[in-house]
Amino acid sequence: MNRGIAMEEIKLRVSGIEKSFPGVKALSNINFAVRKGTVHALCGENGAGKSTLMKVLTGLYKADKGQIFIDEKPVEIKNPIQAREYGISMIAQELNYVSELSIEENLFMGRLPLGKFGNVDWKTVRREAKKFLEEEHLDYDPAQKLKTLTVSDIQMLEIIKAVTNNAQVVLMDEPTSSISQAEVKILFHKIEELKAKGVSIIYISHKMEEVFQIADDITVIRDGEVISTDRAEDLDIQTVIARMVGRTMDNVYPKEQVALGEKNFEVENFNEKGIFGDISFYARKSEIVGFAGLVGAGRTEVMRAIYGLDHKDSGTVRIDGKEVRISSPSDAIKKKLIMLSEDRKEYGIVPVRSVMENASLASLKRYFYGGRSHKGKERREVQEIFGKMNVKTPSLETLISSLSGGNAQKVLLARWMLCEPEIMILDEPTRGIDVGAKFEIYKLMTDIVKEGKTIVMVSSELPELIGMCDRIYVMCQGRITGCLERKDFSQEAIMMLATGLSKTHKKEDA
Amino acid sequence: MKNDKLSYYLQKFSILIVLAAMFLVCSCLSPYFLKTNNLMNIARQLCVGILIAYGEMILIVSGFLDLSVGSVLALSGVLAVSAYKATGSMALALLAALAVGVACNLFNALFVGNFGVPAFIATLGMQQVARGIALYYTGGANILQLGKFVNIGQGMVGILPLPVLILIGVTVVIWYMFNHTSYGRNLYAIGGNRKAAEASGINSIRSIYISYAINGLLAGLAGVIFMARNNAGLPNGAIGYEMTGLTAVIVGGTSFTGGVGTVMGTVCGAFIIGFLENIMNLLGVNSYVQSVIQGLIIVLAVAFDIRSKSKKSSKVIMAADDNAGKK
């Protein structure tokens, strides 16, 4: 399928790469070529081998077999420093920076220019850093600590850092996972600039819309093997997804229209000075209510305050028409209101404990009462819910940290299902998980609302909100700027409200 | 799969295997080691250390620790001794010790839980405070002639020394607590990821208070036994015992980063250290050299723990890849 490619200048060629770990073949017979000055997207489910391949390219892993060519010359990349010397640079999914150090120190980390006596030449550092910041139109002082920057600016700095390293090939692993739509635009603009300079980019993302927006070539990887490489214009999203999962997916969003019940969840006048204000919304039984907005619009903050995790200055919550006082998550859980946090690592999993303990964590009262434990019951119920949710785990004793992102997320959802909630706040329920697991979580959400329960979903992926929700509230700068009914859903309408350009839907009828 | 199970059990019981090997080696090295008298002696000597170790384990599993336990032990011990001398009541003496232990630790909990002071700092402060009070109260002098008070440290019930019997009782309670109460689960969760535990409705501040309170009860009980064994109220006693406790906990496989640890491991860890100390004494190893060896063992135990963990985590990645491959 590599038609036409031989005609052009190839920057990086990967030929016959194989990599095994004891008992597992992670990569086999990987072949693809990246053209100079293009964006080459790598698509595949989590665990397909993309990360392993990246690690081979940056010298973190040594391939068992195969050859890497740069400018058609065979090279051997033994470690990240060598990779850098060959002009290969990586922008990691989780950014590598030291938040307590300044911008300039981060920019020059590991390659600070030295003066005569082996001392650091801070003058050069300052001058160069200033120059880069100005070139990139980033209005920051080089001495500013990195933790005061936004995620997207830090990412931009990472890219600048890579380019100042004379990178010829830049690897980007999920670069848009934690930045807003507007910032994505800036990133894409930057990528175009790099392309114009002849830099090649290997782009990994789960977000198909983005891939098709930016990629010139698309290589699909499944189970450690290259399935295909094509020009982006010869492909469509359905085809790529079908190749990734190895089957056709006729419907990405298994939304079913369910008759909506009565209002059972009302939030009124939530305020927290400087974070959000005047937040009022409601949800009905069997309804999936979405919350859209740019990163930093305050959606997560509102939800955390409702759930009792963060402080609020004022505001009331009514469940089934009765006002409830929620000052901690345990209050909320007692009222059958739960929240799945957006940050799985920080607020979700307890990595050193088993999947079973992780699943039962929020409902320990069911398994420890009367002065003793009821572990048989715990096992039985966890097993049952895992079965229902199709959680793939070698055993109930397996540590949760050894599961893939999608399976870990399902364990966390199981944790909340075991609480038998009536109202579920799901904050970015599908972030960072593969297409197959996403589908299963959507399916589960559909099943949940069929039982008359209520879901409030916060998401930064508009297609997902549009695909799954009955109504969408849009937030901008700490305020609700509008509410859209399903018939009025469109990416444009949501973006107008999210950027504060339109306020036509300000007051929804009750 | 069968191999997996085997390695799972090997890992789970590796500490028992180490203990058994240690026991075998010791009994070969010295014929005196296996004598009932000697073994009883080891058990008796370990009582105070294991009580302290339980307190440390509760705290370390949940992500904290206590550096003040040696001082608190001494303070509650001397106060118990003087309560006994004043009233002649063993019950009052014990009560005084437990109360003082708990009181000191509620301060620890206040600073660690409510004010967010790192446990290392908060309990380092308490170490000085409690020792200071003990020395001030006694004027720095040992309290002698304890009369029947010594029974709790030296008495026998049938063939078992009384402190060993007490220890067995405490062990059952602590084991039950870790394995069959929601409080035990909370400890693991808080130590493993405090934010996640809190987001799941667990009250971590309450858990901190309970943990330090239990640690205080154990310190008070250990104080009474310690003074009774020494037949004196020693305001300068038990210096550095927090390290003895910590060593047993760490050698016993409790992770210093929290979330992992078992009671069986801690008991085994304490006995491994106890056997080592005993055999070095029996072989006449210089006591300064003994100190060097013990220091090395702590560092090696932690290094081993970290190594095996990083190996595990690389396995983990493969398992994840493997899982995805099966879909």
Per-residue 3-state assignment (H helix, E strand, C coil) for A267-313: EEEEEECCCEEEEEEEEECCCEEEEEECCCCCHHHHHHHHHCCCCCC
Q: Are B86 and B57 in contact (CB under 8 A)?
A: no
pTM as predicted = 0.78
Q: CA A339 to CA A448: how far, in whole Å? A: 14
Which of the four CATH numbers 3.30.230.10, 3.40.50.300, 2.60.40.10, 3.40.1380.10 does domain A263-336+422-436+452-510 have? Answer: 3.40.50.300
Which of A352, A357, A402 is opposite residue B319, by nearest beta carbon? A402
Q: Which of B255, B321, B326 sits opposite A49 (nearest CB)?
A: B321
CATH of domain A5-245: 3.40.50.300
Mark the ranges of chain B whose per-residue pLDDT is less than 70: 1-8, 10-11, 308-327
Cα–Cα distance for residue pair A417/A276, rounded to 1 Å = 29
Amino acid symbol at A377: K
Which of B193, B255, B256, B314 is the best mutation test for A, with the most CBs of A within 10 A? B193
Alpha carbon distances (Å) from A4 to A37, A231, A239, A472, B96: 16, 10, 20, 45, 87
How far lies A60's CA from each of A52, A55, A80, A168, in Å?
9, 5, 6, 18
**Gap between the Cα atoms of A24 and A503, Å rounded:** 54
CA distance A142 to A148: 12
For β-strands A39-43 and A200-204, DSSP reports them as: parallel
Q: Which of B182, B209, B64, B202 is nearest to A347 (CA)?
A: B202
A105 contacts chain B (CB < 8 A)? no
CA atoms within a 13 Å half-sphere pointing along the CA-CB vector of A283: 28
Which residue matches tokens 């599993």?
A: B61
**Beta pairing, strands A169-173 & A73-75:** unpaired
- Tallying the residues shown for chain B, one arrives at 327
Q: Give the largest CA-CA distance in chain B.
A: 74
Tell me, what amino acid is at A494? Answer: I
- Residue A155, classed as helix, strand or coil, is helix
Contact A362 B181 (CB under 8 A): no
Give the DSSP H/E element, type plus range, for residue A375. helix A375-389
Tokens of B151: 């029974």
Question: Residue A19 belongs to what H/E stretch?
Answer: strand A10-21
- Chain A partners of B319 at a C-beta cutoff of 8 Å? 394, 402
Alpha-carbon gap, residue B190 to B61, rounded angstroms: 8
Q: Tell me the C-alpha distance between B212 and A229, whole Å.
A: 61
3-state secondary structure of A17: strand
Owning domain of residue B180: 41-301
Extract long-range pairs of A460-465: CB within 8 Å, 24+ residues apart. A460/A180, A460/A181, A460/A292, A460/A294, A460/A295, A460/A428, A460/A431, A461/A207, A461/A430, A462/A292, A462/A491, A462/A494, A462/A495, A463/A209, A463/A252, A463/A253, A463/A491, A464/A253, A464/A430, A464/A438, A465/A290, A465/A292, A465/A494
Cβ within 8 Å, pair A364-B323: no
pLDDT at position A31 is 92
Q: How far apart are CA A152 and CA A165, in angstroms?
A: 20
- DSSP character string of A86-138: TTEEEE-SS----TTSBHHHHHTTT---B-TTS-B-HHHHHHHHHHHHHHTT-
For chain A, domain boundaries: 5-245, 263-336+422-436+452-510, 350-420
C-alpha distances in Å from residue B210, one per residue of A281, A360, B59, B171:
40, 22, 10, 17
CB contact under 8 A, B195 and A350: no
H or E element in which residue A484 lies: strand A479-485
A370 CB within 8 Å of a chain B CB: no
CA–CA dist B40, B34 (Å, integer): 10
Q: Do B321 and A26 touch (CB under 8 A)?
A: yes
Q: Kindly determine whether residue B323 and residue A341, on different chains, have CB atoms separated by under 8 Å.
A: no
Nearest alpha carbon to residue A165 among A80, A265, A43, A49: A80
Q: What is the mean pLDDT of each run of 10 residues along chain A (510 residues)?
A: 56 90 77 93 81 87 90 89 87 70 81 83 87 79 82 75 79 80 83 90 86 92 88 88 70 85 95 93 96 87 95 95 95 96 91 95 93 93 93 89 87 95 95 82 94 94 90 93 92 83 48
Q: Please, are residues B226 and B134 in contact by the beta-carbon 8 Å criterion?
A: no
Q: How many domains does chain B have?
A: 1
pLDDT, position A247:
61
Six token digits for residue B52: 């302290």
Q: Does some domain include residue B311? A: no
Please tell me the distance in Å from A401's CA to the nearest CA on chain B.
7
Distance (Å, rounded) from C-alpha B150 to C-alpha B229?
Answer: 6
- Exposure string (b/e) for A205-225, b if CB count within 10 Å is 16 or more? bbebebbbebbbbbbbbbbbb
User: Which stretch of DSSP H or E encloses residue A57?
Assistant: helix A50-57
β-sheet bridge partners, residue B161: B156
Task: Give a yes or no: residue B284 inside a domain.
Answer: yes
Enclosing H/E stretch for A195? helix A181-196
CA distance A351 to B197: 12
Q: Which two tokens stand for residue A371?
A: 């002065």
**HEC sequence for B29-94:** HCCCCCCHHHHHHHHHHHHHHHHHHHHHHHHHHCCCCCCCHHHHHHHHHHHHHHHHHHHCCHHHHH
pLDDT in the model for residue A505: 45
How high is the pLDDT of residue A60?
86
| Cβ neighbours of B326 in A, within 8 Å | 392
φ, ψ (nearest 5 deg) of residue B115: -95, -10
**How many angstroms separate the CA of residue B66 from the nearest CA in chain A?**
22
Q: Which long-range contacts (CB under 8 A, 24 or more apart) does A369-375 make?
A: A372/B180, A373/B179, A373/B180, A373/B181
The Cα A71–Cα A36 span in angstroms is: 9
Indicate the residue type of B176: Y
Token reading at A226: 């290259």
Residues B188, A394: C-beta atoms closer than 8 Å: no
Q: Is position B80 within any domain? A: yes
Domain assignment present for residue B13? The answer is no
Rounded to the nearest angstrom, the gap between the alpha carbon of residue A89 and the centroid of all alpha carbons in its chain is 21
Q: How far is CA A51 from CA A20, B109, B202, in A?
A: 14, 44, 35
> For residues B214 and B274, what is the distance between their CA atoms, to the nearest angstrom?
24
Identify all chain B residues contacting A52, using CB atoms and an 8 Å cutoff: 321
Q: Pairing mode, if any, of strands A217-222 and A39-43?
A: parallel
In a domain, B102, yes or no: yes
- pLDDT score, position A22: 64
Residue B131 lies in a domain: yes
User: Which residue in the block uniquely carries the two structure tokens 């509410």?
Assistant: A483
The CATH number of the domain holding residue B211 is: 1.10.3470
Q: How far is B67 from chain A (nearest CA, A)?
A: 25
Closest CA in chain B for residue A61:
B314
- pLDDT at residue B3, rounded to an integer: 56
Candidate from B189, B255, B316 with C-beta closest to A361: B189
Strand, coil or helix: A418: coil
Chain B residues with CB under 8 Å of A360 CB are 185
| Angle, CA of B277, B63 and A330, to the nearest 5° | 145
pLDDT tens track for B259-300: 999 999 999 999 999 999 999 999 999 989 988 988 888 788
Q: B321: nearest CA in chain A?
A: A47
Q: Determine whether the interchain pair B203/A328 forms a contact, defined as Cβ–Cβ distance below 8 Å.
A: yes
Q: Tell me how close the Cα of B117 comes to any Cα of chain A, in angstroms.
A: 21
Distance CA(B199)–CA(A427), nearest Å, equals: 13
> Which residues are A272's β-sheet partners?
A276
Smallest Cα distance from A454 to chain B, Å: 19
Q: Is residue B164 part of a domain?
A: yes
Count interface pairs A-B at CB distance under 8 A: 122
Provide the 10 A C-beta neighbour count for residue B19: 21
Give the 3-state DSSP-derived string for chain B, with helices as H, strands as E and coil as C: CHHHHHHHHHHHCHHHHHHHHHHHHHHHHCCCCCCHHHHHHHHHHHHHHHHHHHHHHHHHHCCCCCCCHHHHHHHHHHHHHHHHHHHCCHHHHHHHHHHHHHHHHHHHHHHHHHCCCCHHHHHHHHHHHHHHHHHHHHCCCCECCCHHHHHHHHCEECCEEHHHHHHHHHHHHHHHHHHHCHHHHHHHHHHHCHHHHHHCCCCHHHHHHHHHHHHHHHHHHHHHHHHHHHCCECCCCCCCHHHHHHHHHHHCCCCCCCCCCCHHHHHHHHHHHHHHHHHHHHCCCCHHHHHHHHHHHHHHHHHHHHHHHHHHHHHHHHHHHHHHHHC
Task: Report how far residue A79's alpha carbon sits from residue A59's, in angstroms, rounded to the nearest whole number.
Answer: 4
A173, two tokens: 């692993």
State the first-to-last Cα distance of chain A, in angstroms, to the nearest integer.
56
Residue B276 lies in a domain: yes
